[in-house]
């Protein structure tokens, strides 16, 4: 079975995005490198469906990039829902803010610029849903910081848990950090989780 072909098949049988998000993807592809940092339709729709199923109203995202996943999740939130998204790279900020302002769902989003380990503590309260897709070196640190603030029954989704298969040999610092997080989650009795072979690996966990 050809992995690329089956992924295309899966994408073609997954609900498409709104016109605003399609435009965001086009602008990102035109203006930026590393466009593979976008979560993509499969992960985006997975996030949206999980938010709707879980009834989440308060979301934290770590790693905004150009706002694709933030906007996807905001569209899935109820009218009184709110989403906080953390980004460090100012290069991506302009595109994200432009599309947040353009979308009706953008009013639910608060973008915090700076190091996420410093900005997350400035957000008060707890979260129903968390999406982690930021600098991989700090994955274990993010987990330790955020899990105590995740509501009981809350959901956390973590992207890139395979790191292109490097978690199998862990030669790079990033692969070592991701592998450490994967083991932390596996050994954490306070959560239940499933690791899915979607794109570059996605872990979905629920706090007991």
Tokens of 79: 């009218």
Which DSSP symbol is given to 100?
H
Q: What was the pLDDT predicted at 14?
A: 92
Fold for domain 3-207? Rossmann fold (3.40.50)
Distance CA 59, CA 51 (A): 9
Q: What was the pLDDT predicted at 180?
A: 97
Domain assignments of the chain as residue spans, ordered by start: 3-207
Q: What was the pLDDT predicted at 191?
A: 98
Within 10 A of 110 (CB to CB), how many other CB atoms are there? 13
Q: pTM of the full predicted structure?
A: 0.92
Q: What was the pLDDT predicted at 199?
A: 87
Please say whether the beta carbons of 70 and 39 come within 8 A. Answer: no
Q: What is the pLDDT of residues 171-207, one digit of tens each?
A: 899 999 999 999 999 999 999 999 999 989 999 999 9
In the predicted structure, residue 39 carries a pLDDT above the cut 70? no
Q: What is the pLDDT of residues 48-101, one digit of tens each?
A: 999 999 999 999 999 999 899 999 999 999 999 999 999 998 888 988 999 999
Q: What was the pLDDT predicted at 28?
A: 81
Distance CA 159, CA 179 (A): 13
């Amino acid at each position: 079975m050809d992995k690329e072909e089956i992924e295309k098949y899966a994408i073609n049988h997954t609900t498409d995005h709104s016109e605003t998000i399609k435009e965001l993807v086009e602008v990102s592809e035109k203006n930026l490198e590393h466009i593979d940092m976008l979560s993509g339709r499969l992960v985006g729709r997975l996030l949206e469906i999980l938010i709707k199923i879980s009834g989440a109203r308060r979301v934290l995202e770590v790693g905004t990039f150009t706002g694709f996943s933030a906007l996807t999740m905001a569209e899935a939130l109820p009218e009184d829902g709110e989403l906080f998204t953390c980004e460090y790279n100012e290069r991506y900020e302009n595109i994200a803010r432009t599309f947040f302002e353009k979308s009706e769902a953008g009013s639910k989003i608060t973008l915090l610029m700076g190091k996420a380990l410093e900005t997350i503590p400035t957000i008060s309260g707890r979260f129903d849903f968390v999406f982690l897709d930021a600098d991989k070196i700090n994955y274990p640190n993010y987990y330790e910081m955020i899990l105590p603030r995740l509501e009981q029954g809350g959901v956390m989704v973590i992207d890139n848990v395979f790191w292109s298969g490097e978690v199998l040999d862990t030669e790079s610092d990033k692969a070592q950090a991701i592998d450490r997080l994967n083991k932390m989650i596996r050994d954490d009795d306070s959560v239940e989780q499933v690791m899915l072979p979607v794109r570059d690996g996605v872990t979905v966990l629920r706090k007991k």
